[in-house]
């Protein structure tokens, strides 16, 4: 994006809590608390993960790997579903979803299948924000 | 996997045409010809993409990027959906799916939403095999 200001897509902003920013991405928590679901939004104009320059791609996926480790260690995930889809929201965003056998839409993927909903309390969001910032070494 | 023989999961084998192998993965074509859908199955015992050693992960995603480029250049894809899910089949496999506005389940992801079916002719599979082997510089 060079010097342009990166603006988060309004749909992503509406569907999530902001957890902070790394040098290369916004870090979001999906508002639906039924499954632990983090979203990394790279500050780039590219819309497909597989088109990114390798150096940027590597940094971003390293961060996703840290998020995955966090979901396993602290949020009960037994399995990580990782995806870059973007059919509805063209701004590139990387889903890192913690899954476990018997969760609300197991074994289906969450996209288009997660019908149950739950909300995080403000305290829960604050806790997750702190934990994720630690996991990503933000600020 | 060290010296063990890597065996493709029977569900993946049943759902796909084999296109060949790289040094690190089996390359498959999903049998459903409604969307161009390639699957890379790394020869590893790890079940999550984000747990792989970085060097192996990089090679695999580089190959996925080549597959994505192929789907765009030769198979009419306007957009790539990339995912590692594995809730049903625990053996790690990477989906590289070519999408276009108005395709059979647009804008939903294919997983659990693609109800239309079509089959490739033997000639079509042979053509795609050749093209993919060229794209990945296999043999």
Can you give the pLDDT of all 139 residues of chain A as single tens digits? Answer: 455 789 999 999 999 999 999 999 999 999 999 999 999 999 999 999 999 999 999 999 999 999 999 999 999 999 999 999 999 999 999 999 999 999 999 999 999 999 999 999 999 999 999 999 999 999 7
User: So what's the ipTM on this one?
Assistant: 0.96
Give a yes or no: residue A86 inside a domain: yes
The C-alpha atoms of residue B37 and residue A45 are separated, in whole angstroms, by: 25
Domain count, chain A: 1
Q: Would an 8 Å CB–CB cutoff place A85 in contact with chain B? A: yes
Give a yes or no: residue B117 inside a domain: yes
3-state percent helix, strand, coil for chain A, nearest multiple of 5 = 30, 20, 45
* Closest residue, chain A, to B59 (C-alpha): A54
Domain, as residue range, for B69: 10-135
Give a yes or no: residue A3 inside a domain: no
Contact between chains at B48 and A85 (C-beta distance less than 8 A) = no
Contact between chains at A58 and B54 (C-beta distance less than 8 A) = yes
Does residue B3 carry a pLDDT above 60? Answer: no
- The CATH number that applies at residue B82 is 3.30.428.10
Give a yes or no: residue B1 inside a domain: no
**How many CB pairs lie under 8 A apart between chains A and B?**
100
Exposure string (b/e) for A115-133, b if CB count within 10 Å is 16 or more?
A: eeeeebeeeebeebbeebb
Encode pLDDT of B58-71 as tens digits: 999 999 999 999 99
CB A39 within 8 A of CB A94: yes
Contact between chains at B82 and A84 (C-beta distance less than 8 A) = yes
Give a yes or no: residue A4 inside a domain: no
Whether this prediction's pTM lies above 0.90 is answered by yes
Give a yes or no: residue A17 inside a domain: yes
The C-alpha atoms of residue A132 and residue A124 are separated, in whole angstroms, by: 12
Give a yes or no: residue B21 inside a domain: yes
Query: Contacts of residue B64 in chain A, CB cutoff 8 Å?
Result: 50
Give a yes or no: residue B2 inside a domain: no
Encode pLDDT of B90-139 as tens digits: 999 999 999 999 999 999 999 999 999 999 999 999 999 999 999 999 97
Which residues neighbour B109 within 8 Å (Cβ) at sequence distance 6 or greater? A83, A85, A87, A109, A111, A112, B81, B83
Chain B closest CA to A124's CA: distance in Å? 25
């Amino acid at each position: 994006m060079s010097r342009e200001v990166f603006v988060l897509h309004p749909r992503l902003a509406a569907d999530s809590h902001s957890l902070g920013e790394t040098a290369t991405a916004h870090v979001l928590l999906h508002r639906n608390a039924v499954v632990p679901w983090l979203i990394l939004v790279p500050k780039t104009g590219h819309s497909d993960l597989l088109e990114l320059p390798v150096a940027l791609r590597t940094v971003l996926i390293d961060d996703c790997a840290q998020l995955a480790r966090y979901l396993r260690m602290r949020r009960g995930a037994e399995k990580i579903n990782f995806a870059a889809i973007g059919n509805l929201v063209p701004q590139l965003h990387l889903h890192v979803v913690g899954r476990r056998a018997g969760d609300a839409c197991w074994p289906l993927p969450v996209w288009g299948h997660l019908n149950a909903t739950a909300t995080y309390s403000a305290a829960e969001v604050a806790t997750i924000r702190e934990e994720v910032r630690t996991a990503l070494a933000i600020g």
